[in-house]
Amino acid sequence: MILLFVCGTSAHAVPQIGEAAPRLKGTLFSGESFDLTAMRGTVVLVNFYSSYCKFCAYEIGNIETYLENNHDKGFTVIMVGVDRIEDRARVERMLGIYNLDGLMTDELEQSGFQKIYATPTAFVIDRQGILRSRTRGAKMPSWFREHVDPLLSDGE
């Protein structure tokens, strides 16, 4: 019975609000290495994205605008493409148009997140590395005001 339970559990637990953010490490499309645990002191949006997702296309301009307006306050974005690795160039091109950086799930060096989420799915991590929000669906300006602004003002 115990063997069935152990074998049946996912290698990636579902990240829980209020707990330390899961590991996430890799090399971004820009060539820069990143490690989520080393990003303490910043508020991080980890956004699972697909280049084929209409809601992702709808929100991407909002993400770019919010990042441009709040990067100096300690906000950053990591876009994680869940597309097939064959579509890497498509994902990279799409993110490049919006001045966003990211990588593919299949190219992550380490991840405590699930490999694939319904897109878009976003996780917000506070300056202390604690997961504060998980949201499925397109992010509008009001979403950023509710979920990210309070975390940015905590650090000012």
Secondary structure letter of residue 57 according to DSSP: H
Domains and CATH numbers, the chain: 15-153 (3.40.30.10)
Q: What are phi and psi of 101, to 5 degrees?
A: -110, 155
DSSP-assigned letter for residue 14: P
- Position 135 scores a pLDDT of 93
The pTM of this model reads 0.88
Element housing 91 (H / E): helix 88-97
What are 99-144's pLDDT values in tens digits?
Answer: 999 999 999 999 988 877 889 999 999 999 999 999 999 999 999 9
Calculate the alpha carbon distances from 16 to 12, 22, 117, 124 in Å. 12, 9, 15, 11
> Which portions of the chain are predicted below pLDDT 70?
1-14, 154-156
